[in-house]
Every structure is written in structure tokens, then in C-alpha cells.
Amino acid sequence: MMKIIRQHLKNNLQSDIWKNKRCFLIGGGPSLIDFNPKLLKNELTIGVNKAFIKFNPTINYSMDPNFQKFLSKEPCSALTSVQEQWRNYKGVKVFLKTSSKYIYNKNIFLIQRIRDKRKISYDPNIGIIPGKCSGFGALMLAISLGCKEIYLLGYDLDVQNNLTHWHEGYKNQTIEKCLHRLKRFKANFNEYSEILRNEGIQIVNLNLDSKLECFPKDSIENIL
């Protein structure tokens, strides 16, 4: 197995680099099935997990070690379409640092996990509170970069027409399993919503039908 190459974020993502700028977070919810990626062309964006296959986000973030392993498959092996798109994606690739000895190529950046759940990080080189899902970690990453105006897309926390995601989902994913996990994710956001408001961070959910209700809601048309 190849040696893990741990890249530091400081050369690409410094604290306050997005200060006084807005950003959009792109989740996996089915509300984005018909969303036009061109609407975000001139915006700062952080994509969650498979967002890179459609949205070409400024940053793509994941905390899922199994997904990291899947994307980091050695080049000599036959690649799936998703893996091929990952190799062609030119944005900043960020994974939560894990103890697992997966293969990371040189253009992947690892961000540290902050163990103190009460400490909101404003410096990505210190790390982030990863929370229970990549969507929460992407929110903390945006905050660490200086954003205080953050808009959520695809943060549905619900199944729509028997679809769990706007993409094909993940291996062994069922509707029942997905709904169970979404309950935990929702509780995680609820736990921090007041803390983030007290920090002066404006977070707006751009799905009016989202089951994530701890942040104010608006429409993408009003914001853009």
C-alpha cells in the first residue's frame, strides 16, 4: 500500500479567506435533482460527498471513510464513472482526517477533527467539529474559512418520491436506513443552531420543504 501523503490546508485554505463573502453548501437531498448548477457559477461553494459529479464546487468535502477509500482507489484498477469524475475534478478536495490507512493522492487535503464539541473553529488549520455527517462538517468548514452568510442547498433531511439523494445514492442504502440516519443528522444541527446564531453566523436553508427547520428558510430565487 502506498504511503499516505498528508497535505496541509494552509497553502490553499487560510482562516478568513472567505471573510465577508457568502457561500453555498451543496448537500445530497433529492430536491436538487432538477437544480441548474449554472446558477452557482460565480458563487463560492462547498459540495458534500458526490456533489463534484454535477456541481463542480469550489471545495468538495467528505468525512465518510468508506467513501474516501472508494475515491482513493489505485489508478491501476478499473475506475467507475464516479471515480473518474473525481480524478478530473479540479476543485479543492478535503477529507476529514481519519486514523484509517487509506491512500490519498497528493492533491487531497486532510482537516483535523476537533474533539472539544463546544469550540467553534475559525481556522481550518486547527480543524473543525465534524459532527454526525458530511453536511454538518461542510458547514463547519465554511465557518472556519470566515463565512458568516451561508446558504444550504439539498439539506432536505428527508426522502422524496422514494429517492434518498439527487444522485444514485450509496451502496446498501435503503430508505429505512436513510431515514434513521437523517434523524440523527437533524438532531446534530438542532444542537448547534443556537450556538451558531449567537456567534453571529447567518445560515439560511434554501429548501422551503426541508425537514431541517432550525434555520430560517428562503428560496434560491430570492437570494440570487
Q: Judge whether 179 lies within some domain.
A: yes
Q: Which residue in 70, 84, 34 sits closest to 172, CA to CA?
A: 70
Q: Assess contact for 217 and 205: CB atoms under 8 A.
A: yes
- β strands within 68-112, DSSP E: 92-96, 108-111
Residue 53 placed within a domain: yes
Residue 26 lies in a domain: yes
Q: Is residue 1 part of a domain?
A: no
| pLDDT tens profile 128-186 | 999 999 999 999 999 999 999 999 999 999 988 888 888 887 777 788 888 888 999 99
pTM of the model: 0.90
What domain range includes position 56?
A: 9-223
Alpha-carbon dihedral 10, 11, 12, 18, rounded to 10 degrees: 60
pLDDT in tens for each of the 224 residues of the chain? 334 444 555 556 777 889 989 999 999 999 999 999 999 999 999 999 999 999 999 999 999 888 888 887 766 567 788 989 998 999 999 999 876 555 555 678 889 999 888 889 999 989 999 999 999 999 999 999 999 999 999 999 998 888 888 888 777 778 888 888 899 999 999 999 999 999 999 999 999 999 999 999 999 999 99
Residue 4 lies in a domain: no
Give SS3 for 202. Answer: strand
